[in-house]
Structure 1
Amino acid sequence: MDKRFLGRTGLQVTELCLGTMTFGSETDEPTAHRILDEYVATGGTMIDTADTYSAGSSEEIIGSWLKNQNRDDLVIATKVYGEAGPGLPVRGAGRKHILAGVEDSLRRLQTDFIDLYQIHVFDDATPLEETLSTLDALVTSGKVRFIGASNLTGWQLQKAIDLSRGHGWEPYVCLQPLYNLLDRDAELDLIPVCLAEGAGVIAWSPLAGGWLSGKYSKDAGGLPAGSRSSQADWDAHDNDRTWRILDAVRAVADEVRRTPAQVALRWVVQRPGLTAPIIGARTPEQLADNLGATGWALTDEQMDRLTEAADRPLPYPHNILQLPQFVRRQS
């Protein structure tokens, strides 16, 4: 599996990151350990979790596995922000919770440090200076190596980077946004900020909750029996653009003799600014299929065909900025 630098840092990560949101809920501990073993056996090094995944069980499962691994070979990423438990208040990204949260994550992960510590969502009730200065102190203490964020708007990300630069604090070096062929809003502001500021991008839900795996068909006329998706999810995706994208993915998959999931993941891997998609395998079989997205490449023509199939009207002001009379890029 190829490696890439995480943004402008000296930290190298593999081109597929293993997501562990289902560990402790849909995936039991023995199966999770098998998935971790198989991911590492293929050369994978980056594992992403969060303090709220399965109410902390995801971190605990990783920790029970991690204690028997060579820690320096792995990049462990986790997140802080959410509910202390089902129905309990959201704890946010203030100093008190971050300092308590990092200790809890270190304990559950059974490690002395976290490679990438991320704020799960933007906290509009806490001064950003409080959040960023606290994260900077964690890097200085050695408990955290790098910091990042997930689920921000473009202005929130840029403001955080600018504040850190102005105060001499450690900056966000990575963003974790929703990004796939069906969900491309990150291209409007977030990915351009990351490209301009040298931040890495690890994309969550690169298969759009399974829609890009090829398991759904327009001809089915509705949700397949036993599907994990909801009727609302089907209704939201049952449109001409979705089926156009899936037709393009299947066509390319036939050409390269790969599965639709592998093609959809490969598209994310090869997009500008992307460091790695986060593959969220619930079973070893799903992991094996996802790992098939490595070791080969889509051609420029195939990338263009998939991208064009996934095009959509741009919102204001991006539609105005792309008009020929306003574009001044150098050729």
Structure 2
Amino acid sequence: MNPQMRYSQLGRTGLFVSRFCLGGMTFGGADTPAGAAIGRLSQEETQTIVSQALDAGINFIDTADVYGGGGSETVLGEALKLRRNEVVLATKLHARVGPGPNDVGQSRLHIMTALEQSLRRLQTDRIDLYQIHGFDPITPMEEVLRALDDAVRSGKVRYVGCSNLAAWQLMKAIGVAERDRLTRFASLQAYYSLAGRDIEHELVPAVTDAQVGLLCWSPLAGGLLSGKFDRQGSSDTTARRALIAFPPVDETRVYDIIDALKVVALRHSTTPAQVALAWLLARPAVTSVIIGIKRPEQLADNLGALDLVLAEEDHALLDEVSRPTAAYPGWIQTYNARSRYPAGHPFQGSSWSLGERPL
């Protein structure tokens, strides 16, 4: 029996998405070493996982034009032919997809070309969430946002989002959009896991303040927090992390985090992966967690995190072992901000940060 799916509002839009988003990086793709590590699932395998996800209540699927050299969008489009209206379909553009000088980036030309190619591969007439996949240091933000706004006005895109931006880049984009009355970013997609909490320094406060939805990629740090790894490595030679050390982690701390995950998993008779996902789902800023799946049993295990409620002692253990090093100016602003609250207020304590303040 599947756990009851839950849904969150995407930023300040009226759109609701499932707390788990099915990631499409494992779908399709070329037979290369990188493809083998990430997953190059066939059409039949992709269909099985997509159907399983939709049947479990997942209504949110994310991919990108660069995944599998377009192969992910192609097999996903075929898999969704009969169930397209059940899905909030998201894809991304920015990475190089061809040899030409304009086959990359966020120029108006590339955005419009990439959009048409994604629509064709996905066999759909609209993209529900169209996202820039990174920061383009060349194209002015005004050009990027105007092109995305035109895509929305054309009816080919419903909402726009971004991925892998710094907090200042996100806030600049929001400022430009509001100044020029352009479609505003509804979401930001970022790496967030127990093994990677850097986003708490600047991005979490930014998305919270701006009411931007937060979508988390690689919640298990490329499989490192799945329970397959310990200080001796992994016995699963096909595991993604055993083949590609991505995303980077602090090797001096990560195994302490894994040990803590196993302690908490034992308390709840569950898996370390479920604990890591449950911890992330409980973070106040998080809208949806993107899960990459290679096998149906992985999806079934991940879904179990929906019903896992961690105790205060569990959160305390996991928070402490994974707490990121204080970064300036956050640490001094947090220190000084305590004087703004009356005596006895919860935020007079010693463990909160500015990103957790009430708005």
Q: Indicate whether 1:22 and 2:26 are aligned.
A: yes
In the alignment, which residue of structure 2 is the partner of 1:112? 125
Residue identity opposite 2:192 in structure 1: Y
1:292 matched to 2:304: yes
- In 1, Cα distance between equivalents of 2:108 and 2:141: 10
Aligned length in residues: 326
The amino acid that maps onto 2:269 is R
User: Equivalent residue of 2:96, what SS?
Assistant: coil
User: Conserved in 1, the CA contact under 8 Å of 2:215 and 2:287?
Assistant: yes
> 1:196 aligned to 2:200?
no
**Aligned letter for 1:57?**
G
For 1:171 and 1:317, how far apart are their aligned partners in 2? 27
**Greater mean deviation of Cα atoms: 204-213 or 253-262:** 253-262
Unmatched runs of 5 consecutive residues or more in structure 2: 30-39, 346-359
SS in 2 for 1:101: helix
Secondary structure at 2:327's aligned position in 1? coil
Letter in 1 for 2:309: A
Q: By how many angstroms is 1:239 displaced? A: 3.6
User: Does 1:7 pair with 2:20?
Assistant: no
Give the TM-score normalised by the residue count of structure 1. Answer: 0.93
The secondary structure found in structure 1 opposite 2:186 is strand
Identity over aligned residues, as a percent? 44
Task: Give the root-mean-square deviation of aligned CA atoms.
Answer: 2.0
2:338 pairs with 1:327: yes
Cα distance in 1 for partners of 2:340, 2:218 equals 32
Alpha-carbon distance, 1:16 to partner: 0.3
Deviation at 1:232, TM superposition (A): 8.1
Quote the offset at 1:320 in angstroms.
2.7
Q: Is the 8 A contact 2:28 2:42 kept in 1?
A: yes
CA distance in 2, matches of 1:328, 1:280: 44
For the structure 1 residues 180 and 292, does the alpha-carbon distance in structure 2 shift closer, same or farther, using more than 3 Å as the test? same
Instruction: Give CA-to-partner distance per residue, 1:250-275, whole Å, 9 cap, x none.
Output: 11111112111011011111102100
Pairs within 5 Å for 1:9-158: 9-25=13-29, 26-69=40-83, 71-85=84-98, 89=101, 91-158=104-171
Q: Distance in 2 between matches of 1:96 and 1:244?
A: 48
In structure 2, give the amino acid aligned to 1:242: V
**Shift of the alpha carbon at 1:82?**
1.2
Give the SS at the match of 1:282: coil
Q: List runs of 5+ in structure 1 lacking aligned partners.
A: none
Matched, 1:280 2:281: no
Q: Distance in 2 between matches of 1:5 and 1:300?
A: 26
2:74 and 2:121 in contact (8 A); partners too: yes
| Superposed CA offset, 1:104-155 (max 9, x none) | 1111111111110000001011011000011111111111110000000110
Name 1:250's counterpart in structure 2: 262
| Map of 1:211 onto structure 2 | 224
**SS at structure 1 position matched to 2:128:** strand
How far apart are 1:240 and its partner, in Å?
4.0
- Whether the 8 Å contact between 2:127 and 2:156 is mirrored in structure 1 is yes
Q: How far did residue 237 of structure 1 move?
A: 4.7
- Inter-CA distance 314–172: structure 2 relative to 1 (3 Å threshold): same
Shifted more, 300-309 versus 71-80: the winner is 300-309
TM-score (norm 2): 0.86
Q: Distance in 1 between matches of 2:76 and 2:109?
A: 25
The structure-2 alpha-carbon separation of the partners of 1:27 and 1:102, relative to structure 1 and needing over 3 Å to count, comes to same
